[in-house]
Structure 1
Amino acid sequence: MKRYLILIAYEPMDWSTASEEVRAQFFEQHGAFSAYVAEHGKEVASAALDDADTATTVRHVDGEVVVSDGPFAETAEMIGGYYEVELPDLDTAIEAVKLLPPSYSLEIRPTISIT
């Protein structure tokens, strides 16, 4: 099995104003993803992230540590969550993410062991 980190990016939206139908569809699609992963491998970890405006970025600039509010990159999309999964191969990971909401941009990255 290979371990993959799946980063979920999307246009910010106000979840509190989403209709019950929209919420149900998102939960159904995440459920289908989780069921597919369970059938073909396993989910190691997952989490939703708070809004990008709650981020803190730490950089090294000219030998100094600079701490600033907000995300590292200026972008219209924000990273809103992730899944860490173990699946047989990239093709299986691609099939799994196809089940997530189509409004997402999804990045699949194999993890590596640094020892």
Structure 2
Amino acid sequence: MKYMLLIYGDENCWTDDERRECMLESMTIADELQQQGKLISADPLHSVTTATSLRIRNGQKQITDGPFAETTEQLGGYYLIDVDDLDEAIGIAARLPPAKLGTVEIRPLFPKPDATADATATNNRSNETTPQS
């Protein structure tokens, strides 16, 4: 099952040295997960001050600098993993350094419909209803 681990924390709670150590430890965990075939993707994000938010209202784009909401913790990075179950995802999240100072939100990915299978089924149904000569 695929899970996204969303890393939240106060961007100002890390010194430069602590942030570097956190990233190095996180990269080690990511490398380990990659070798096990469980990592799909993982990256830190730039500061929330670099964010741009987009909303479409009444067909018009509304673009603003900064995050969507004011919060005490900001989204700082993510891991996209493919593991057996929620317990395994929790175990991985518990190893991540940011969990000690912030929050790791664990969310399952919603499965997308198989467009190819849906199209094939639709074509098969339409062929079944076509009269044969």
Q: TM-score, normalized by length of structure 2?
A: 0.70
Give 1:61 shift.
2.7
The amino acid of 1:6's aligned partner reads L
Residue by residue, what CA displacement relative to the aligned partner does 1:54-104 show, whole Å, maximum 9, x if unpaired? Answer: 111111234422111111111121101000001100001101111112112
Q: Provide the secondary structure at the position in 1 that maps to 2:12.
A: coil
User: Which amino acid is the alignment partner of residue 52 of structure 1?
Assistant: V
Structure with the higher fraction of residues in strand conformation: 1
Q: Which has the larger helix fraction?
A: 2
- Percent identity between the two aligned chains: 33
Alignment partners' CA distance in 2, 1:63 and 1:51: 29
CA drift of 1:53 comes to 1.0
Superposition TM-score, scaled by structure 1 size:
0.80
Structure of greater relative contact order (alpha carbons < 8 Å, 6+ residues apart): 1
| 1:4 pairs with 2:3 | yes
Q: Note if 1:113 corresponds to 2:111.
A: yes
Q: Answer whether contact 1:37 1:87 (CA < 8 A) is retained.
A: no
* Displacement after TM superposition at 1:30 (Å): 1.7
Task: Supply the RMSD in Å over aligned alpha carbons.
Answer: 2.4
In 2, Cα distance between equivalents of 1:76 and 1:109: 20
Output the amino acid matched with 1:105.
T
Aligned counterpart, 1:50: 46
| Higher Cα radius of gyration | 2
C-alpha spacing 1:63/1:74, structure 2 compared with 1 (3 Å): same
Distance 1:64 1:35, change over 3 A: closer
After TM superposition, give the deviation of residue 108 of structure 1 in Å.
Answer: 0.6
Could you list the runs of 5+ residues in structure 1 that have no partner in the other structure? none
Pairs aligned (count): 111
- Can you give the 5+ residue segments of structure 2 that lack an aligned partner in the other structure? 114-133
Higher mean alpha-carbon deviation, 23-32 vs 67-76, is at: 23-32
3-state DSSP class of the match of 1:85? strand
Residue from 78, 83, 89 that aligns with 1:87 = 83
Matched residues in 2 for 1:97 and 1:32: separation? 14
